[in-house]
């Protein structure tokens, strides 16, 4: 299936990177929302506003972007038979971990909507660093291909 994308290859790669940007924007915004949200009294008007904002970010940005990044990424994988390349093995592991982080974040926003707030402000701020570090490693693997 090598080069099955033909002339569409560069458009698919461009779209892959564009939706990666949207995904990362959502992954950076949501923990910030959690921190501000947890400063509001449970059941208050402000609490309800943050629940609404988190639902919007989840359904309009985060979930669609992750799905599209995977679909376009797998098309690129087949197009260059990336499974033969060691850099891609590690990249795939990291994007699976990033997808798991995404899943955790979706779960946490649903907990907040039920008034459950298990993590402290400090823990949320530390977790907020995870997507940035992972994105840097993933982009270096995809562009530099060190092995």
Residue nearest to ligand HEM (CB): 73
Q: Which of 25, 77, 113, 119 touches ligand HEM by CB under 6 A?
A: 77
Q: Give CA–CA dist 114/128, Å, rounded.
A: 22
Between 92 and 127, name the residue whose CB sits nearer to ligand HEM.
92
Residue 6 gets the label, from left (phi > 0), alpha (psi -120 to 50) or beta, of: left
Helix axes 86-113, 45-56, angle to 10 degrees: 150
46-54, 56-64, 104-112, 136-144 -> range binding ligand HEM (CB under 6 A): 136-144
The alpha carbon of 82 is separated from its chain's Cα centroid by a whole number of angstroms, namely: 21
Question: Which residues in this chain contact ligand HEM in the complex, by CB under 6 A?
Answer: 13, 16-17, 20, 69-70, 73-74, 76-77, 80, 82, 88, 95, 98, 135, 138-139, 142-143
């Amino acid at each position: 299936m090598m080069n099955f994308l033909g002339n569409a290859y560069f458009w698919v790669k461009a779209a892959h990177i564009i939706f990666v940007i949207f995904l990362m924007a959502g992954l950076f915004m949501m923990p910030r929302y959690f921190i501000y949200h947890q400063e509001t009294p449970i059941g208050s008007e402000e609490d309800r506003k943050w629940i609404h904002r988190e639902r919007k970010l989840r359904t309009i940005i985060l979930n669609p972007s992750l799905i599209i990044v995977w679909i376009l990424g797998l098309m690129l994988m087949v197009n260059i038979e990336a499974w033969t390349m060691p850099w891609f093995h590690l990249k795939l592991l990291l994007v699976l971990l990033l997808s798991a982080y995404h899943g955790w974040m979706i779960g946490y926003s649903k907990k907040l909507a039920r008034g459950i707030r298990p993590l402290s402000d400090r823990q949320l701020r530390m977790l907020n660093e995870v997507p940035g570090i992972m994105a840097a490693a993933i982009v270096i693997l995809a562009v530099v291909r060190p092995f």
